Structures are given as C-alpha cells and as structure tokens.
Amino acid sequence: MSFSESMTGMKRTHMCTALTEEHIDENVTIMGWVQKRRDLGGVIFLDVRDRTGLLQVVVDISSIGDEGFKKSEKIRTEFVIAVKGLVEKRTEETINTNLQTGTIEVRAMELRILSDAETPPFQIEENSSVREDLRLKYRYLDLRRPDLQKKLMLRSKLTEVVRSFMSEEGFVDLETPMLTKSTPEGARDYLVPSRVNPGNFYALPQSPQIFKQLLMLSGFDKYYQIVKCFRDEDLRADRQPEFTQIDIEMSFVDEDDVMNMNERLLAKMFKEVMDVDIALPIKRLTYQEAMDRFGSDKPDLRFGMELVNISDIVKDSDFKVFSGAVANGGSVRGINAKTCGDMPRRQIDALGEAAVSYGAKGMAWIAINEDGTYKSAITKFLSEEIVEAMVAALEGQPGDLLLFCADKNEVVYNTLGNLRLDIAKRLDLLKKDVFDFVWVTDFPLVEWNPEQKRYTAMHHMFTMPKEEDMELMTTDISKVRSRAYDICLNGNEIGGGSLRIHQREVQERVFEALGFSEEDAYDRFGFLLDAFRYGVPPHGGLAYGLDRIAMLMTGSDSIRDVIAFPKVKDASCPMTSAPGVVEEKQLEELAIRIDKIEL
C-alpha cells in the first residue's frame, strides 16, 4: 500500500537551484524527488532533485518536531516530497563545491510525502551504464537522468530558436496532412486502413514535399514546418520509424537565396543554442569534388587525409591489380594515414578486412619507416620510380601509412571514404566540439537502381535539372546534374534540398525518364500535374533532420538520446510494447484480416 499526502495548502515558491545565498533566512517551499538520503541519527539530510538540479534539505527533530521527523525517517530514494523551510548558510566544512546550491541548505519546518517510491530498477544518475533495453523499458525513470533531461531541453531550445528565426524572416508555419496518399519511390510507407472507405488506405507522410510545393503554388511564398515524418524501413543507429523534419520552402528564389537564408539560420541555431560561431559563408563542394577528395557525398571536413588519384602514375605498371582497374574505367586512389606507419600488422590487416566489407577486393598499403624505408606487400610488384611517385603524390613522410584501393570508382570512393573515417576515429580526430559545415551541390539527377533495373531519382522526382544539362535529359540522363544541395556537418547529412521543377513539361519528362508511364504518373501525381497548369512560381527549399542536429549538438552517439520515447531496432517501443494486438472488432470495422491467421 503506497502512501501519499495531498499538497493542498502548499505552493512551491522556488525551483531547487533558484535558491542562492541571497535567500538566506527566507521561508521557502520546494518540491521534488529525493536523490539521496543520509541519516546521521537525529539529523537527516535529503538531496532533493528537480529539473534544475539538487538542493540539500536538513531535517532536524528540533526544527520539525517529532511527527515530522518520524515521517522523514520513512523517506527513501525517489520519494516525492514537499518541504517548507528556512534557507540557511552551510558551515564552511559542509560546503559542497560540486553543487550549484552547495553553500546553502533548507532547514525543514514542514515536510510532506507527496508520493512514496519503490526502489527503482536502476539508479538515476548521469551517464548511466545500465543496459539500454532496461532503460528504455523504464524510459520514464531513464528520463529522470539530468544528462538526458538537458539533451531534451536543448532540443526544445533548438526548435524555439528555429521558429523565432523563421518567423522573423517572414516564413508562415503551415500544417500539412498526416493522413495522406501513398507515394511511389522513396522508402516504404506506413499505411493506415480507412474505415469509411474499406479497402482504401492512407499513408503517413515520408515528407510534406508535394504539399509544400502546392503551398508555393498557392502563393504563401515562404513556408516552414517542424513536422513528423515516417518511413517503414529497417532501423539503423541513426534512424527511427518516425522522425522530425524542419521543412522549408520558398518562392521566387534560386540556389543562392535558399543557401544564404539557411546559412543565417544555421549560424543563429549554433550561436544561440551552443554559443558556437559558424564562419559564413559555408564552404561549397560539388558532388564530384566531394567524392574525389573525401570519397563521400557527406564529407567530414574536421580533418584532411584527402583521397589522391594515382591512376596516371600506375596505369601502365605491370601490377595488374592497379593497371587493370584503370584500364576497366576505374581508378587507383590512396590516402595518407599520417603517423600510422608503426601500426602493427594485424591492425593493418583489420583495415584490409574493413576495406573488403566496404566493397573492395582488397587494400594495398605502404608503411614508411622512420628511416625512410618501406614496409609493404606491393612495392615488389612496382618499379621504384612508380613507388616513389606514389609516395610523393600522397606526400608520404617517415612514420606515415599509405593505403590504396583499385577498383571501379564507386568502390574506391566508398572504401577509402570509410577507411578515412575509421582512421580518423582511431587517431581521435573526430572532435565533438568542432562543427564543420559544408554544402554539397550538383548531385547527379538520377542513379542506377540495380534491383529495379532502372534509374531512380537521387534526391526526389521534383528536383530541377541544371539548365545547361537539360539537353542531356533525352540523350544521357545519367550525366544530368540537378540543382540539389545537401548541408553536411561533421560527416553527417543534416539537411538537403533543391530547386524544384516548376514547369509541367519538365516534370513529365522526368517521370518518363524514371520509367513512369503517362498513366502511372497521372494515377499518382495527377493533382500535382494538374496544379502545374495554373501558374507556378519558381521555388525551392530544404529539409533538416532535427533529431540528427540535436544529436550532434548534444554530442550523443544515438538519436535515441534526443527523443523522449524512441523505438528500438524492430520499430517497437519497449515501454508501451507498441505495436500490439488489437481487438477483432477493430479489424472488422476496417474490413481487414491478418494474413497469418488465415494460413
């Protein structure tokens, strides 16, 4: 049987850490959870916690009387209490410099137990090392951790800063539907069966893309929304079935207008939330440059170790692994892992295995000893001249480790791009307090989808092709570049956008190039193509992954840390155990049946 007193007649006067030495001798009422209780016999010390921090309460029989003292003896960790008392200065020897309120304490005159508590399944403490599955089952307790609370409060502050900026810039906050139509392409939709129209389904939006374009067509000029989006995909560390986008769209703009506005937004976000100054303008790389130099379309610029193309150096060598790759239209490239020349052989082998996991057939390497000699399994296949040229190209110095990959370009990029990150991690170059932004532009309009044996949109189907590539649309669509741009931070794509197609013919041509029949395109997007008949302004926009930005700002390793109630790998919630079984009657109303029951 639990025990709880009413708070009737009591009003909280202060949050715990609002009390300072200025309040000494004042009567105050504080309320919160008991973090710790120390019984010194005759005097009980209680550390009381609220969202602002801790405050020490002294319960002394001489101040509170017999009954109050007896009550306080029942108190355990995580009890919720209300304390009316007097703020007092601590004696020199009891001052706790680790505590914001460490120079004062509250002497209890009246104490109520508002709620008792069983011993929680784990202790409430910063940087808990408790298993995540247990913490997520008891998420309401996990969320009592001050570090987690701070992260969610930072996220709240972040959205506030975004909203105030967007409003100052004249953007209108407009809500778009959650119950909408299933879209082809992109990821898998979450579906919602309709009761009123049996056999029909809504889809939860993967993004408000079409709606925000229609709002531009309506003349709202500047739209933004912080909005939940949904993708029914298998989860990775930084993915959730539902996630939050900062969604932006503008009319009568070109790339520079969108990018400039967003740079101001990012600068404001990082200044006001993190007190970090971002140097503007943010660097820009084309997609091709990003791939050539960093092996990634979301390059991490916190460190160098850029890719170097040595194809010309090795293309005529007798080492077929190298010359063959070049001859087949691929390339040979390398990176210089500075100071890693003394890496033990088994660690180098581990890098080689990683390279294979990234798609390469293998990894070649040259370690430069301190005396300038080489350790390598490939130098013997190459002329001294070529080896020297390779080392020179990578600016190899004694103590460096040079890694090479020879294959089709996409394999080389992916392998070296990832090895670059692995080595940076090992060398501790990925500083969490450095925030390095870069725009990546000029993406290919389409990419080859080997499963579906057709081209699919790289950004999305509404992305405008570059004017100068328009002629390639019918001759070689794979070469068409788009007016898309991603904004990357420390190797993470935190946002992406594009100028949109605003001419119906161009939109139809893109549908066609992506293999949609006219009928198909109309079935799915008829209303958009119809809308395009009635006067469309040039427009473009961008969408940020809010969860990911909050994750990077808080230095978290997972977006789960910046989501109050996240899902786990199988898209379930360990706390509510959603998804769950529903009543037969509910399914009947929706006119659906579960397949496996039928089998």
Q: Is 147 in the site for its own copies (CB under 8 A)?
A: no
Q: Which two tokens stand for residue 285?
A: 């790389």
Residue with tokens 């921090």: 53
Residue 233 known to bind ligand: yes
Range in contact with its own copies (rule: CB under 8 A) among 5-13, 65-73, 277-285, 430-438: 5-13
Helix pair angle (146-168, 546-553), 10° resolution: 120
Minimum CB separation of residue 118 from its own copies in Å reads 5
Q: Is 74 in the site for its own copies (CB under 8 A)?
A: no
Pick the closer one to its own copies by CB: 194 or 311: 194
Burial of 59 (0-12, 13-18, 19+ CB in 10 A): buried
Q: Is 144 in the site for its own copies (CB under 8 A)?
A: yes
Q: Per CB under 8 A, which of residues 47..66 are in contact with its own copies?
A: 49-51
Pick the closer one to its own copies by CB: 218 or 328: 218
Residue 240 known to bind ligand: yes
Q: Per CB under 8 A, which of residues 537..556 are in contact with its own copies?
A: 537-538
Q: For residue 59, give the nearest of 113, 18, 14 by alpha carbon.
A: 113
Quick check: 212 and 541 in contact, CB under 8 A?
A: yes
CA distance 280 to 266: 10
Range in contact with its own copies (rule: CB under 8 A) among 73-81, 288-296, 420-428, 451-459: 73-81
Minimum CB separation of residue 414 from its own copies in Å reads 28
Pick the closer one to its own copies by CB: 8 or 127: 8
How many residues touch its own copies (CB under 8 A)?
Answer: 129
Pick the closer one to its own copies by CB: 337 or 549: 549
Q: Is 579 in the site for its own copies (CB under 8 A)?
A: yes
Work out which of 24, 70, 123, 252 binds its own copies, going by CB under 8 A.
252
Pick the closer one to its own copies by CB: 25 or 505: 505
Q: Which residues contact 517 (CB under 8 A, 6 or more apart)?
A: none
Q: Is 255 in the site for its own copies (CB under 8 A)?
A: no
Q: Which residues contact 287 (CB under 8 A, 6 or more apart)?
A: 297, 440, 441, 442, 443, 444, 481
Would strands 191-193 and 201-203 be described as parallel, antiparallel, or unpaired? antiparallel
CA 200 to chain centroid, in Å, comes to 34
Q: Is 451 in the site for its own copies (CB under 8 A)?
A: no
Minimum CB separation of residue 444 from its own copies in Å reads 21
Q: Is 536 in the site for its own copies (CB under 8 A)?
A: yes
Q: Which residues contact 117 (CB under 8 A, 6 or more apart)?
A: 76, 77, 78, 79, 80
Range in contact with its own copies (rule: CB under 8 A) among 260-268, 271-279, 353-361, 570-578: 570-578
Q: Per CB under 8 A, which of residues 188..247 are in contact with its own copies?
A: 188-204, 210-211, 214-215, 217-221, 228, 230, 232, 234, 241-242, 244
Q: DSSP string spanning 23-49?
A: GTT-EEEEEEEEEEEEE-SSEEEEEEE
Minimum CB separation of residue 151 from its own copies in Å reads 11
Q: Which helix (H) or strand (E) holds 246?
A: strand 242-251
Pick the closer one to its own copies by CB: 255 or 436: 255
3-state secondary structure of 218: coil
Q: Which contacts qualify for 528-535: CB closer than 8 Å, 24 or more apart?
A: 528/210, 528/213, 528/214, 529/504, 531/214, 531/217, 532/217, 532/502, 532/503, 532/504, 532/507, 533/504, 534/217, 535/217
Q: Which helix (H) or strand (E) holds 80?
A: strand 80-89
Phi-psi region of 203 (alpha: psi -120 to 50; beta: other; left: phi over 0): beta
Minimum CB separation of residue 502 from its own copies in Å reads 6
Pick the closer one to its own copies by CB: 180 or 558: 180
Q: Is 122 in the site for its own copies (CB under 8 A)?
A: no
Q: Is 140 in the site for its own copies (CB under 8 A)?
A: yes
Residue 548 known to bind ligand: yes
Residue 323's alpha-carbon distances to 65, 318, 319, 403, in angstroms, are 90, 7, 6, 17
Residue 460 known to bind ligand: no
Minimum CB separation of residue 257 from its own copies in Å reads 8
Phi-psi region of 372 (alpha: psi -120 to 50; beta: other; left: phi over 0): left
Q: Is 162 in the site for its own copies (CB under 8 A)?
A: no
Query: CA-based angle 432:157:48, to the nearest 5?
Result: 90
Helix pair angle (209-217, 518-531), 10° resolution: 40
Residue 236 known to bind ligand: no
CA distance 121 to 219: 55
Minimum CB separation of residue 164 from its own copies in Å reads 8
Pick the closer one to its own copies by CB: 332 or 550: 550
Pick the closer one to its own copies by CB: 116 or 388: 116
Minimum CB separation of residue 436 from its own copies in Å reads 28
Q: Per CB under 8 A, which of residues 479..518 are in contact with its own copies?
A: 502-505
Range in contact with its own copies (rule: CB under 8 A) among 150-158, 258-266, 283-291, 371-379: 150-158
Pick the closer one to its own copies by CB: 7 or 429: 7
Minimum CB separation of residue 334 from its own copies in Å reads 40
Residue 14 known to bind ligand: no
Q: For residue 460, give the nearest of 99, 209, 114 by alpha carbon.
A: 209
3-state secondary structure of 518: helix
Q: Is 37 in the site for its own copies (CB under 8 A)?
A: no
Minimum CB separation of residue 255 from its own copies in Å reads 11
Binding-site residues for L-aspartate sit at 185, 231, 459, 500
Binding-site residues sit at 185, 231-233, 240, 459, 493, 500, 545-548
